[in-house]
Amino acid sequence: MATSEAGGERPWEYRGAWALAPMVRINTLPFRLLCAEHGADLLYSEELVDKSVAACRRSVSARGEAEYRHADGKLIFSTVPHERVAFQLGTASGPDALAAANVVVDDVCAVDVNMGCPVRFSTQGGMGSSLLTQPERVRDILTTLVRSLGGRRAVTCKIRLLEAPPPPPPPPLTRANRPVTPARPAARQTTAATLDLTRMIASCGVDALAVHCRRVPDRPRHWAQWDALTRIRQTLPPSLPLLLNGDLFSLDDARRALDETGADGLMLARGGYVSLAESVSNHVGNTKYDPTCPAAPHRAAAAAAAAADGRRPPTADNRPPTAVRHSVWMRGMKE
C-alpha cells in the first residue's frame, strides 16, 4: 500500500476503513474536516475535472491551507497539512489525468478516478459512468497513473454496477415458434459484465476499488445491490481491498454490509452527511439530501421494480430507518 507524508504518521489503509464518499458541492475542506473529527478514516474530495485542476496554481493561505486556484482567483481545491484526503478526478484521458494529478500530488494521499457519476456534468465529457463501457480507456487512465504515481500515492477508482445489455429481439412470430424467447436474468448479465470490468481494473495495479452498488439508471430510491459486491469479492484477488458504497444509513447497516458482502471497508455518502447535519441541529430540509425512504405510495412500486430486474427488494428487516438519528461516524463500531 502506498503511503504518504501528506496524511500524517498513520498509514494510508483501505482495509477496515470508513471513508467519506465523494459528493459534489459537499466535500469541500470544512465538511471533510468535520467528518474527520467524527471518526472518518479516509476523506474523498468531490469530483474535480482534470483540465480545471491542471490550470490551477498552488498557494498557501494565512491559515496555512494549501489552496489551488485559477488565474481569476476561483478556489478549486484546498487542504491542510496531514489531511487524509483522496483527490477524486473526473477524467477521460490518461495524459490529462496525470497532468492534473501532478499538480496536487504533494498535498494528497491518493488519486481516485471517478467512473460512476451518471450526471450529465460528468458524462458529457466522456467522464464518470461513461467510462464503464470503455474498458480500454479505463486501462489507459489507470495504468498511466499507476506507472507514474505508484509507490508515492495510492491510485484507485470508484465504479457503479454495469447495466445489463438489452435482450435479443424476439424471432418473427410464426405458427412454429413461441412469441418470445425467454431472456437471461438481468441480474446475472449485470454481474457478469461488472466482473469483467473489475478484473481488468485489478490487472492495472490499483491499490483499491470502491463499488457503488447501483447501476447507472438507478437513483437513491432504488435499493443497492450488495449481493453484487459479494460476487465481486469472491472473484477478485484477496490482495485488492474493496469498499462498499450504497445504503449505509446506520450502524446496523454497516455491520450487515460487512458480514454479508466480505467488503474490506465502507464508503458512506448520504448516511454520514445527514447524520452530521442532525448532530449540529441543521434540519434535513436544509441539506442537499433527503435521507427518508420513498413515500408510502411508492414503496410497493419500488419493491416490484427491484424484484423484476434483479435488485434486492426492500423489506421491513433491511430497509434503512425513515430518519437517521445517530451518527454513522462512530469509533466504537470500528474497535
Q: In which band, very low, low, confident or very high, does the pLDDT at 324 lie, cut at 50, 70 and 90?
A: very low
Which residues does 249 contact at the CB level (< 8 Å), separation at least 6?
270, 271, 291, 320, 321, 324, 328
Of the candidates 240, 235, 232, the one whose C-alpha atom is nearest the C-alpha of residue 204 is 240
Q: Which fold has domain 5-166+183-334?
A: TIM Barrel (3.20.20)
Which among 226, 227, 277, 215 has a CA at the least distance from the CA of 248? 226
pLDDT at res. 83? 96
Q: Please, which residues have CB within 8 angstroms of residue 319's CB and are 6 or more apart in sequence?
A: 223, 293
**pLDDT tens for residues 21-53?**
999 888 999 989 988 988 899 999 999 999 999
Average pLDDT of the chain, as a whole number: 81
Residue 165, CB-side half-sphere exposure with 13 Å CA sphere: 9
Residue 240 to residue 290: CA distance in whole angstroms: 33
Quote the pTM value: 0.79
The whole-number pLDDT of residue 244 equals 96
pLDDT tens digits for range 164-185: 666 667 667 666 665 554 544 4
User: What are residue 268's phi and psi, to 5 degrees?
Assistant: -110, 135
Q: What is the pLDDT of residue 5?
A: 58
204-245 confidence digits (pLDDT tens): 999 999 999 999 888 877 888 999 999 999 999 999 999 999
How does pLDDT run across 282-319, given as a tens digit for each residue?
555 555 554 444 433 334 444 555 555 554 544 444 44
Rg (CA), the chain: 21
Active site residue ranges? 117
Question: What pLDDT score does 120 carry?
Answer: 86
Record the cell numbers describing residue 229, joined without a space: 459486491
3-state secondary structure at position 292: coil
Q: Where are the domains of the chain?
A: 5-166+183-334
